[in-house]
Amino acid sequence: MPIYRAFPVDQAGHIFDEPHEFEAKTDIDAIAQAMQFAESYAVEVWDAGRRVGLIKMRPIEERCGLRGLHRICDYGLTAIVATPKV
């Protein structure tokens, strides 16, 4: 199985820490696994020298709304995938 890397990315698009390394069967599986690292920052997913995709948080205004008197929010993750290799 290929070893993928998930790099934490700041708001300016710069990698700011060491990557998380993990195995996945396909690019789609790698994106799904990397979503766990994108809770508070964006994550770029790489397979060796090939960028697989970018996972980023949507602004809170886009992911939260009011339903009656309750504030409803989704996780706010957006995955931008570059031509996945299945």
Q: What is the pLDDT of residues 33-62, one digit of tens each?
A: 998 887 778 899 999 999 998 888 665 555
Residues with Cβ < 8 Å from 86, sequence gap 6 or more?
26, 27, 28
Task: Name beta bridge partners: 4.
Answer: 22, 47
In a domain, 39, yes or no: yes
Instruction: Please write the tens of the pLDDT for every residue from 60-78.
Output: 555 555 555 554 455 555 5
pTM assigned to the model: 0.70
Domain count, the chain: 1
In a domain, 86, yes or no: no
Structural domain boundaries enclosing 21: 3-81
In a domain, 10, yes or no: yes
Residue 57: which of 9, 6, 7, 4 has the closest Cα? Answer: 9
Task: Name beta bridge partners: 21.
Answer: 5
- How many angstroms separate the CA atoms of 15 and 54, rounded? 12
At 75 the pLDDT is 52
Instruction: Classify the phi-psi angles of 12: left when phi > 0, otherwise alpha if psi is within -120 to 50, otherwise beta.
Output: alpha
In a domain, 61, yes or no: yes
